[in-house]
């Protein structure tokens, strides 16, 4: 029997979440598949969305090439853009959309407008769609204020740019009480006024909570995988990943005896301890505290002791029927990943994208 640590990916839920994102946002929506689709498997998720999706987005070129090599033909936006002139040429040859957030990237696009053949002649290169990034206040990447119009005109002057879209990124859209998102929307609109191009402002939180930010394109990231970025039940998203394993050893621990590294858990009553085949090397957060929720054979349970590299421990005292072989859900339909993230002092994005080393299976394809 193989190790029971397992991630079950529901592609039907993925498609329904995409439909929800599209319905909320209106217009077109990119499915964000960066970081191996937030730990869900980029190729399988892209294939599961084929025929439904308007396009995909990834972080960098290699992530896009993996999808192209798997036969994914829909538009793919590379959110970090090209890192050098060679990547720009490769992106053009593979019909990838590139984000453009600094002057050098425009120069590389212009330089790639003509390519040299084996015989030494130069011929026009393949056309390219550029996504011009506006820094509307996050101050991480993009053109600011009057730079936007200059960059737009420079792209239009490139002989191989067949389309331009305008985009920005929201820094605090998941904070409904913050006024920063409204300020960013105003800054984006001012910087792009009069420019004839489709626009994209909304990430998942923008789609969920900021109607004024909705434009031609949305970018559905974490909501695609069933996580409500506003932590509310109103979106009716479905968890796509269920991470589970099984108890493979049971130990009875007397009062006053410790369990695990650091002796962090000390039994305050006679305790049945279940040892579960999954740990932080599989992506479960190492700093998850005692009491972090799990489900044991479908019933609520809790973590005890410190999470190890390959295993963790759960309290079986209130689960007299549980034992070796019992199913343990770490997150999924019974245990929301947001609850695990909250307990561990982190965010669902980090937890999901850290999943590795476990067997993945896909249903609903």
Q: Which residues are bridge partners to 258 per DSSP?
A: 266
Distances (CA, A) of 105 to 29, 34, 64, 87, 167: 25, 21, 18, 10, 16
Binding residues for substrate: 140, 309
Q: Are 347 and 35 in contact (CB under 8 A)?
A: no
Q: Report how far residue 81's alpha carbon sits from residue 17's, in angstroms, rounded to the nearest whole number.
A: 27
DSSP 8-state assignment for residue 289: P
Of residues 217, 18, 73, the one with CA closest to residue 131: 217
Provide the token pair at 190. 């001012």
Assess whether 34 carries a catalytic annotation. yes
Catalytic residue among 133, 152, 261, 356: 261
DSSP 8-state assignment for residue 134: B
What 3-state DSSP class applies to 291? coil
- C-alpha triplet 79, 82, 83: angle, nearest 5°: 120
State CA 139 to chain mean position distance.
21
Q: Report how far residue 181's alpha carbon sits from residue 186's, in angstroms, rounded to the nearest whole number.
A: 9
CA dihedral 224→9→273→294, nearest 10 degrees, is: 30
Provide the token pair at 251. 């130990």
Q: Report how far residue 195's alpha carbon sits from residue 57's, in angstroms, rounded to the nearest whole number.
A: 23
Helices and strands (DSSP H and E) totals, the chain: 11, 20
If you search the block for the tokens 């031609």, which residue do you land on?
Answer: 216
Assess whether 261 carries a catalytic annotation. yes
Catalytic residue among 34, 133, 225, 362: 34
Q: Report how far residue 228's alpha carbon sits from residue 13's, in angstroms, rounded to the nearest whole number.
A: 14
Cite the active site residues. 34, 261
């Amino acid at each position: 029997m193989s190790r029971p640590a397992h991630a079950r990916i529901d592609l039907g839920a993925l498609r329904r979440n995409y439909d929800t994102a599209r319905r909320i946002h209106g217009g077109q929506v990119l499915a964000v598949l960066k970081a191996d689709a937030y730990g869900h498997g980029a190729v399988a998720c892209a294939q599961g969305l084929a025929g439904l999706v308007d396009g995909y987005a990834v972080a960098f070129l290699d992530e896009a090439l993996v999808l192209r090599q798997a036969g994914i033909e829909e538009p793919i936006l590379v959110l970090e853009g090209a890192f050098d002139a060679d990547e720009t040429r490769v992106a053009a040859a593979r019909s990838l959309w590139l984000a453009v957030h600094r002057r050098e990237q425009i120069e590389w696009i212009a330089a790639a407008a003509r390519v040299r053949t084996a015989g030494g002649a130069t011929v026009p290169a393949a056309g390219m769609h550029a996504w011009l990034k506006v820094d509307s206040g996050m101050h991480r990447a993009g053109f600011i204020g009057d730079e936007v119009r200059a960059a737009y005109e420079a792209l239009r002057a490139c002989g191989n740019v067949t389309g331009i879209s305008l985009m920005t990124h929201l820094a605090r859209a998941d904070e409904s009480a913050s006024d920063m998102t409204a300020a960013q929307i105003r800054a984006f609109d001012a910087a792009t006024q009069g420019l004839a191009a489709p626009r994209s402002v909304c990430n998942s939180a923008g789609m969920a909570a900021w109607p004024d930010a909705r434009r031609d394109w949305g970018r559905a990231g974490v909501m695609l995988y069933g996580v409500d970025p506003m932590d509310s039940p109103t979106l009716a998203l479905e968890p796509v990943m269920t991470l589970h394993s099984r108890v493979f050893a049971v130990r009875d621990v007397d009062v006053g005896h410790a369990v695990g590294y650091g002796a962090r858990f000390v039994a305050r009553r006679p305790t049945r301890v279940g040892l579960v085949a999954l740990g932080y090397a599989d992506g479960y957060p190492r700093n998850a505290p005692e009491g972090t929720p799990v489900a044991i054979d479908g019933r609520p349970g809790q973590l005890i002791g410190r999470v190890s590299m390959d295993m963790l421990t759960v309290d079986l005292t209130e689960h007299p029927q549980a034992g070796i072989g019992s199913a343990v859900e770490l997150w999924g339909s019974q245990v929301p990943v947001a609850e695990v993230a909250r307990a561990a002092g982190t965010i669902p994005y980090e937890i999901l994208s850290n999943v590795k080393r476990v067997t993945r299976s896909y249903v609903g394809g």
